[in-house]
Amino acid sequence: MSSLTPHGEGFSFLDTFVLSSSPQSGHGTKWLDPKLAFFQDHFPGKPLMPAVLLIECAAQAAGALWASIQGSQAPAHFVLAQVLQFKVLCPVLPGETIKSHITLTTSLGNLAQFDAVLSVGESEVARGRIVLGIALDVGPSHGEKS
């Protein structure tokens, strides 16, 4: 199965993505396979989805939305530039499916701001606001010698 994101299979948190009737919003889903490695250690015997990975679900869905909006002009990938706010309302467990509803609120050149609401079934589990940036190829990573 090909990934909807530029991430490797082990770090893809987006199984499906669909644009909403409004071209500025869409929703993605991710089924949380109980065999995912992070569930083994977070927390042993009582596994739950790490909050930072909930943010990653939102960021990947936001990237899919922004790429859909930009169409053939979309860059190869985006990066999470800032988490403006994010609140986890309840635990997300192995075997559940997360639905990420994403809305583009502001776009300015190489940056775009998105509102995200994550839910499992009919229950809201997290919400927040994030900023994505267009990934620029600027050479070696910070701290890496060329």
What is the pLDDT at residue 2? 45
Determine phi and psi for 58, rounding to 5 degrees.
Answer: -65, -45
DSSP structure class, residue 5: S
User: Exposed, middle or buried: residue 81 (CB in 10 Å: 0-12, 13-18, 19+)?
Assistant: middle
DSSP structure class, residue 22: S
* Amino acid identity at 89: L
pLDDT for 110-119, tens place per residue? 999 999 999 9
Catalytic residue among 42, 77, 101, 142: 42
Integer Cα distance of 9 and 135 in angstroms = 20
Q: In what order do the strands lie in the sheet with 123-134?
A: 16-19, 25-31, 97-108, 111-120, 123-134, 78-88
What is the pLDDT at residue 76? 82
Q: How confident is the model at residue 6 (pLDDT cuts 50, 70, 90)?
A: low
What is the pLDDT at residue 146? 43
27 counts as catalytic? no
SS3 of 59-101: the string is HHHHHHHHHHHHHHHCCCCEEEEEEEEEEECCCCCCCCEEEEE
This prediction's pTM: 0.88
Listed residue (75, 53, 73) closest to 63, CA to CA: 75
Long-range contacts of 40-45 (CB under 8 A, 24+ apart): none
Mean pLDDT value of segment 22-36: 94
pLDDT for 49-104, tens place per residue? 999 999 999 999 999 999 999 988 888 889 999 999 999 999 999 999 999 999 99
Contact indicator for 61, 17 with CB cutoff of 8 Å: yes
